[in-house]
Amino acid sequence: MRIVRQIMCSTALLALGGCLGGDIVTPSEARNLSSRTDAYAALRDRNSDVPNSAWDAMPTQGQARFDGAAAVRFGPDNARTRLAGDVSLTVDYATGGIDGQIDRLFGVDGSNDLAEYRGQLRVGDGRIGVDRPNDWSAGYSGTLRGNGDRIVSGGTIRGDFQGTPVRTMEGRSDGSDTALVNGVEMPFRVDIVAEQKTLTAD
């Protein structure tokens, strides 16, 4: 999940430097976003070396909630927008289902303007054990608005469960995913890392 840290670090530097634009207008709001960035980076760091979950340790009953950080990139290489935000997923180990959302996104555009982005990416139609007992995939789709842009995206996130017992989920979108940014098709990338917060029995 190196890309998550790269996006978060660049966002933090801009927030601390007060490089404001778009939908962010006050230094206090920028400081709040910087604090969130620090929390995301800490989450990524403490889970960066966790190995994939042992196949025979994957739960087969109960539901769990995973909360964490998402990184989103879109646009051409020379003017890429880089965002960070929250991800919350519910996993049903009994049925193999996964759903949730990515929201509260903020970040910097190709001109280094800092902005918050309204809207969310819904995550659904997920399943555990696509190719191995400890992997997963899910679809995502939604519309984001911020800094004068309207981004309509959809695709697939694939990843793995990590830790024995399960501790985190990590995943990334397909490299071919795209979005319509103000009606123009552009490359779109999502990366996530989320920690298991609760586990309830059926």
What tens digit of pLDDT does each residue of 98-154 get? 999 999 999 888 777 888 999 999 999 999 999 999 999 999 999 999 988 999 999
Express each pLDDT in 151-201 by its tens digit: 999 999 999 999 999 999 999 998 899 999 999 999 999 999 999 997 776
The answer to whether the CB of 190 falls within 8 A of the CB of 157 is: yes
pTM of the predicted structure, to 2 decimals: 0.86
**What gap in Å lies between CA 53 and CA 46, rounded to an integer?**
16
If one compares 117 and 2, the residue with the highest pLDDT of the two is: 117
Q: Where are the beta strands (DSSP E) in the chain?
A: 63-74, 81-92, 97-108, 114-128, 135-146, 149-162, 168-173, 178-181, 184-200
